[in-house]
Amino acid sequence: MFEVLETLVLTVLIFFGIQTFVAQPFKVQQGSMENTLIPEQYVLVDKLSPRWDPYSYADIIVFTPPESWSQGDVPFIKRVIGLGGDTVELRDGLVYINGVKLDEPYIYPGNGGIQQQTFPAPGGSTRWVVPDGSLFVMGDHRENSADSRNFGTIELSRVVGRAWLRYWPFDTFEILPVPTHPELATPAP
């Protein structure tokens, strides 16, 4: 009996240790990341690697939204658009980072299969400077996303981790693609 109890206690401790410090499952509950992620899919959120591998452009992250945008205890899932020190601008439906037009192949196609444009929130800003220790995030379904255009940048302390694996439903199992942004590697003209 003692061995069974010891095994159960150890199993519970390992489970909670992994979920607290290494990886956590997350259920997508909003439509803001379509078609990359759709509601009812499950992803695995990596909490460990961001300790030595900082978040970068196009990472998909799970975070606790600002209190003014909170939907109970439901975390948000969005894509990193701007990093600390960046200037993010919206011009003519496009996103510019430090004056360079961002190539965004992941944006949800709108009516007729044409990529949605990115507009500011009604009456909102079109330019943000991302403070150090913060991120600027947007959903891939730009017309259906409450994101940094609405609530501003988010502090790194609010980030749960990086979504990296979609595992349910099983027929959608894959490591989530994170496109590179070579256009941001060179200084703006």
Q: What is the pLDDT of residues 146-180, one digit of tens each?
A: 999 999 999 999 999 999 999 999 999 999 988 88
Rounded CA separation 180/104 (Å): 10
**pLDDT value for 111:** 72
> What residues are annotated to the active site?
32, 78
Chain segment 17-52, per-residue pLDDT in tens? 556 656 788 999 989 999 899 999 999 999 888 888
Does the pLDDT value for residue 94 go beyond 90?
yes
Average pLDDT over every residue of 78-98: 96
Strand (E) or helix (H) holding 9: helix 2-21
Chain segment 46-68, per-residue pLDDT in tens? 988 888 899 999 999 999 998 88
DSSP track, the chain = -HHHHHHHHHHHHHHHHHHHHTEEEEE---STTTTTS-TT-EEEEE-SGGGTS---TT-EEEEPPPGGG-BTTB-EEEEEEE-TT-EEEEETTEEEETTEEPP-TTSPB-GGGPBPP--PPTT--SEEEPPTTEEEEE-SSGGG--SHHHH--EEGGGEEEEEEEEEESGGG-EEPP----GGGTS---
CB atoms within 10 A of CB 118: 20
Q: Are 98 and 188 in contact (CB under 8 A)?
A: yes
Rounded CA separation 129/127 (Å): 7
Strands 76-82 and 134-138: antiparallel
Mean pLDDT, the chain, whole residue set = 87
Q: Which domains does the chain have, with CATH numbers?
A: 25-184 (2.10.109.10)
What is the pTM assigned to this prediction? Answer: 0.86
Q: Are 88 and 95 in contact (CB under 8 A)?
A: yes
189: confidence class by pLDDT, cuts 50, 70, 90: very low
Joined together, the tokens standing for residue 174 give 């894959």
Report the percentage of the chain scoring pLDDT > 90: 62
SS3 14: helix
